[in-house]
Structure 1
Amino acid sequence: MSTWPAAPLLLALILALAVGAPAARAVVLEGVGHATVVNGDLDRARSQAREAALRDLALQYEASVSTRDTMENGVLTESRTELAAQARARNVQVVDEQRSGNRLRLVVRADVTDGQGSCQAGSAYRLKKRVAVLGFPLVQPDQARVGQIGDVNTALPEQIQARLRASQGLQVLSATQSGLFEDPVDAPTRQLSSNQLTNVVALARELGAQFVVAGVVRDVGISDPAAWNTSLWAGLKRGIGASDRSRRFVVDLMVFDGLSGSPVYQERFRAAGDWNAEPGSSTGFASAGFLKTDYGRAVSGAVDRMASAIDAALACQPFMTRVVRVDDRSITLASGATAGLRPGDELHLYRSGRHWDALDQAPELNDAEATVTLDRVHPDVSSGTLGQGGQGAPELNIQRDDIAIIW
């Protein structure tokens, strides 16, 4: 990692760990980061070393250096060097980890592109937001008979989950047996006038998710059903390439904010390809036989794009978690080390409430003008103390189900 002697150094780094943005000027780089293991806390040291390695990546890719000198009466009184890097890292992988005593060395590899125009997510970029991926109902189940892909309603979201987990930027919760839409034909349904989905909030609370990913499989139909019957003539036409074997794939993907039920992202994804699998050679969506077909490979590419779109849509969102316990100045939160929280992190507190005449509406958030600084962090919960001041949580009216946010 580069060092700059003598002059003060201001490092402004914008490094978005979103898998979703289209690659521009992408190069594969390796970065090296070091950290000291304090009191045996290897996880914290590993996180610090990873961040240092990502900074190294960004500086290797593109950095601008500016020097500002202050002169008084012809005498140099101050010299300030500012170093800025703007980059976007995709597909981050740890390729080497070595520990020597209390010194940890980490090497990461990533696809690095220009970060100009990307959001500056601040401290929230290093935290893993909880995302629940629900089942994707199939609008026309009869279409799934060819290739026996009736499991697409659960297998497709499972494929999306696997890709999101591989990106390591989100906490992914599996809920493929849960559904969001009573009638997928007209989904999304049950919306309020404010364009919020009423059942998202309850489902997100039940699953402990900040965001909910849902979808509807609109079309997996083949263009010419007769091309796949079992007659000798149909088999002969397939053999000489005289039949239309193309197949469609159309999916509506939606991402909702779990606190308000409001849509964060929505898009329709399409793909098509030849269903060049003989009868009986494919048994299930994303099975080995399915993925060998031209259609399967086209669908796999569409699933890649879906996962990338989810990552990109959530990259700039703040990290939010619920207050689960209040004891005077001690606040317990529903997120911990698995989300990337560490002792010393400071979160802003917001009061969550509803008006008596609009109980079915999303809760309103009001700034409590208070913060909580974490001093104890466990895998799934953390706790800390209210910021300096004479008031405790009761006086500030901080309660269970209020929200803590890192921007």
Structure 2
Amino acid sequence: MASLFRCTLRLLLVLACCPFAAYGEWVQGEASLNFTGADLASVRATVIKNAIADASYKSGSVIAAEDVLIDGLVLSSKAELSTAGRIQRVEILSETVKDNVLTVVVNVNLTPLFDCKPQRFQKRLLVTHFALLDPRQAATGALYNLGTHITQRFAQQFKGSPEFPDVIQIAESLTQPNMWAADALSGADLQTKATYLRDTYGQQFALFGYIRDISLFEQVSESDTLFSSDEVALRRNFTLQVFVLDTFRQRVIFDESYHSEADWPYDSHYRVDTSNSLFWRSDFGRMVLNTVNAAVSDVSSAIACEPTFARIVNIYNQQYVVDMGASHGITTQDSFQLYKQQSLPVLMAPTKSVMLPVEEGRLSVTHIGDEVSIISNEGIEGALQLFDIVAPIARKSAQ
């Protein structure tokens, strides 16, 4: 059967009268098609579309199969599909062929069309290096540079998204063993790291994490007959820990662990070439890509609901330059609101940094470039300083 397709969904949603919950739900869909005289690969893509449309119909929404355009990653066992609408993820549960009829059963995770107030201002993301927590686990297969490929995959996926026009990838790792335990995701150390990342790279969101586990194990399948022996399959884990830090508000907005496993088809002495597509087309390679794609989808959804911030990066001739421009969705019809960062004392804990809005006046956009905008400070004379934090506001006339 077809091994690999590129797949992302663009869809036109027609909401039915049935209400839906504010959380994601998994709905199963099924479709069949006779492929006599046709190419199985193209038929498979059509059947997947129809199965997804069937699941959406059952959930109370209607997605015509013609409205589902394939352009992302679909694998023989699992598909991770990222959308800006209701479909978050799709798993292909089964594919069967009988009498030249292909039947596909999918499991579709559907979420409300708008979980948060949408905004057209695009996000700026820093992707840091995902290191392997225990390098000794990489010995089998020589997967020592797996973290580099995972990091590149994250960066490529986000750079290909219209919601993230400004993505920076760095080789620096922000994680060490036990550094990012649950009790370490707050406090003075987190504030220091957030300030460093914001001042050094200027990105509001920082993606970081580590590969927790790539150990191997044997899976035994008991024989169905008395005279045959049990089957032993060598499988490998892949556990990925992902965080997203809002460097302006100095807090972690996303903290999720992903675990999958797949067959490991190589012997113990084989050195895998992770730059070769053959590895990424293996069961383990495809599983790793699917896991990363799932994380990309979840991170995109989490960041989409967060407010956007920028900074005043230059002052000259009474003009204030903000590091957001047309490439981030800013127009001359927009304005900015000033925020002041303050430290609040917390009982029996380090001080907590908060951003408070300055309600008086709005900062109008007087000139716009690709990466920067120039704003006026009418109504708040003397309040603006270099590196002050501002948030874009869309005027009603521009929405």
The aligned residue for residue 120 of structure 2 is 126
Counterpart in the other structure of 1:4: none
Distance 2:294 2:270 in 1: 29
- Paired AA for residue 405 in structure 1: A
CA 356–221 in structure 1, closer or farther in 2 if over 3 Å, else same: closer
Shift of the 114–257 alpha-carbon distance from structure 1 to 2, 3 Å rule, reads: closer
Equivalent of 1:405 in 361, 366, 391? 391
The Cα of 1:197 is off from its aligned counterpart by 4.8
Out of 273, 278, 293, the position equivalent to 1:304 is 293
Match of 1:264 in 2: 253
Ranges in structure 2 where 5+ consecutive residues have no aligned partner: 1-23, 27-51, 57-62, 69-83, 89-109, 220-228, 394-399
1:81-122 Cα shifts (integer Å, max 9, x gaps): xxxxxx92779xxxxxxxxxxxxxxxxxxxxx774552113x
Aligned with 2:358 (options 350, 359, 367): 367
Q: Is the CA contact (8 Å cut-off) linking 2:186 and 2:251 kept in structure 1?
A: no
Q: What amino acid is aligned across from residue 247 of structure 1 in structure 2?
A: R
Aligned residue for 1:401, secondary structure, equals: coil
Q: 1:201 to 1:360 in 2, by over 3 A?
A: farther
Q: How many residues align?
A: 289
Aligned residue identity for 1:264:
I
Q: Distance in 2 between matches of 1:164 and 1:191?
A: 24
The letter for the 2-side match of 1:293 is S
- Which residue number corresponds to residue 161 of structure 1? 155
Displacement of 1:399 in angstroms is 0.9
The alignment status of 1:384 with 2:375, answered yes or no, reads yes
Do the aligned partners of 1:282 and 1:288 also contact (CA within 8 Å) in 2? Answer: no
Query: Partner residue of 1:283?
Result: 273
User: 2:345 & 2:233 partners in 1: Cα distance?
Assistant: 60
Question: 2:345·2:351 contact (CA, 8 Å) conserved in 1?
Answer: no
Tell whether the 8 Å contact from 2:377 to 2:384 is kept in structure 1 after alignment.
no
Query: How much does 1:162 deviate?
Result: 1.3
Shift of 1:256: 0.8
Q: What RMSD, in angstroms, separates the aligned Cα atoms of the two structures?
A: 3.6
Tell me how far 1:342 sits from its aligned partner.
2.0
- 2:324 corresponds in structure 1 to 335
Distance 1:115 1:212 in 2: 26
Q: What secondary structure is seen at the aligned counterpart in 2 of 1:168? A: coil
Structure 1 residue matching 2:155: 3-state secondary structure = helix
Matched ranges for 1:94-173 at <5 A: 115-116=112-113, 118-121=115-118, 125-173=119-167
Q: Is the 8 A contact 1:128 1:340 kept in 2?
A: yes
In 1, the alpha carbon distance for the partners of 2:235 and 2:136 equals 17
Find the aligned partners of 2:173 and 2:316 in 1 and give their Cα distance: 37
1:12 maps to what in 2?
none
Q: Distance in 1 between matches of 2:351 and 2:279?
A: 44
Unaligned segments of structure 1, at least 5 residues: 1-19, 32-86, 92-112, 226-239
Question: What is the one-letter code of the residue matched to 2:312?
Answer: V
Structure of higher CA gyration radius: 1
Pairwise CA distance, 1:306? 0.4
1:187 is matched with which residue: 173, 180, 184?
180
**Deviation (angstroms), 1:202:** 0.8
User: Helix, strand or coil: the match of 1:126?
Assistant: coil
Once the two structures are superposed, the pairs formed by residues 46-85 of structure 1 within 5 Å of their partners are: none
SS of residue in 1 equivalent to 2:196: helix
Q: 1:244-278: per-residue Cα shift (whole Å, max 9, x none)?
A: 31000011110111113211010100110001135
1:170-211, CA deviations, whole angstroms, 9 ceiling, x for partnerless residues? 134333411213x33342585544894531221232111101
Amino acid at match of 2:264: W
**Structure 1 pair 261/154, CA: closer, same or farther in 2 (3 Å)?**
farther
TM-superposed deviation, 1:146: 2.4
Query: Would the alpha carbon gap of residues 27 and 265 (structure 1) be closer, same or farther in structure 2, given more than 3 Å must change?
Result: farther
Within 5 Å, which residues of 2 pair with 1:202-241?
A: 202-224=196-218
- Residues 359, 270 of structure 1: alpha-carbon distance in 2 compared, 3 angstrom cutoff: closer
Which amino acid letter does the alignment assign opposite residue 258 of structure 2?
F
Answer yes or no: is the 8 Å Cα contact 1:281–1:289 preserved in 2: no
Query: What is the rounded CA distance, in whole Å, between the counterparts of 1:267 and 1:327 in structure 2?
Result: 43
**TM-score, normalised by the number of residues in structure 2:** 0.63
| Residue of structure 2 in register with 1:320 after alignment | 309
Q: Give 1:351 shift.
A: 2.4
| TM-fit CA distance, 1:381 | 1.3
Secondary structure (helix, strand or coil) at the match of 1:185 reads: coil
